[in-house]
Chains A and B, each alone.
Chain A
Amino acid sequence: MRWKTAMRSWAAPVLALALAAGVGSGAAVAGPFDGILGKGLKVAGIGFLVKQFGPGINRVINKVLFQHGVEYKGATKVVPIISVGNGAQIGAAQVQGEKTRIKKVRYVGQLELRLGRIRGKSLIPVHSITPGKKGSFSRVTGTGVTAIIDFKI
């Protein structure tokens, strides 16, 4: 019985990550995700999977970190991350901070810059990324990122 419960708790997020990887891998080979429409579909698909299976992915990340002795005992959450600058990537980011602040985080925006061997990254947890919406793109202070899994668009 226990293995069944364990399978249930692991299977959904692992399957979600595998699906995301499958959708993400469309970029490596010529396929259905090459065009603008395909890329849009990939962004929407990965974003949807991360939104749906966020809590499960969060549990998996926490369990993996626990096995390596660096687990975090506090409020964490997995949200979609969109990276721009050095190409474009989409994926999942684990954010952490105070529980009340974590609830407000909906997305993470990442700005990346690479100049030869020097690189700079800014990780911004935000309320919303809907243009024109009040509070859109505003940073949720006191929160930050602890893990990222992303795929090239």
Chain B
Amino acid sequence: MKRGKLMILAALAFAALATASWLSYPPARAAAPPPPPPEKTSNKWVPILTLGSSLDVGMAQVTGSKYQVKTVKAVAQLETDYKDMARIRILVPIGTKHVTKRLRRVPAVSVTGIGDYTIKK
């Protein structure tokens, strides 16, 4: 009689152990790591050259991550108008002075202000 009870207890314990991992599926996830602190940003004024519907030169304020802003040398702006009704402008912060070779766009940097002078309309 005692032996029979022990056998039942052992079988129950085995069953509990075998199903424990299955019951706890999906496994508890580890707590998500806290988001990284926002990167330090900075501003800088660089020369801007506008090409397209007019030729303009001036200065542009670029903003972005502190490290990337340091590498910006100038901003190239491509501008086009359609019948004085629609305007399309693309602003490209570049990190090379030799713009004739290749435009190397600086990532994580964008434009927040422009002041320029129209040379040719």
Contacts and interface: CB of A to CB of B under 8 A. Distances in A.
A89 B84 CA distance: 11
Contact of A119 (B38, B64, B111, B116): B116
Contact of B85 (A25, A73, A117): A25
B105 A70 contact: yes
Contact of A21 (B65, B86, B91): B86
B108 A96 contact: yes
The range of chain B's interface size is: 20 to 34
B103 A72 contact: no
A21 B83 CA distance: 12
The range of chain A's interface size is: 35 or more
B91 A100 contact: no
B85 A151 contact: yes
A98 B41 CA distance: 10
Nearest to A147: B90
B112 A144 contact: yes
Given A70-B92, A72-B105, A119-B118, A145 B38 contact: no
A143 B107 contact: no
B114 interface: yes
A15 interface: no
A72 B107 contact: yes
Contacts of B63: 97, 141-144
Contacts of B89: 147-149
A9 B88 CA distance: 21
B108 to A, nearest CB: 6
Nearest to A100: B38
B50 to A, nearest CB: 10
Contacts of A125: 112
Contact of A73 (B83, B107, B110): B107
Contacts of B111: 123, 144-146
Nearest to B119: A117
A132 interface: no
A69 interface: yes
Given A118-B116, A151-B85, 17 more contacts: A27-B85, A73-B107, A98-B65, A98-B108, A117-B117, A119-B56, A119-B116, A121-B114, A123-B111, A142-B38, A145-B91, A145-B111, A145-B112, A146-B92, A149-B86, A149-B89, A152-B85
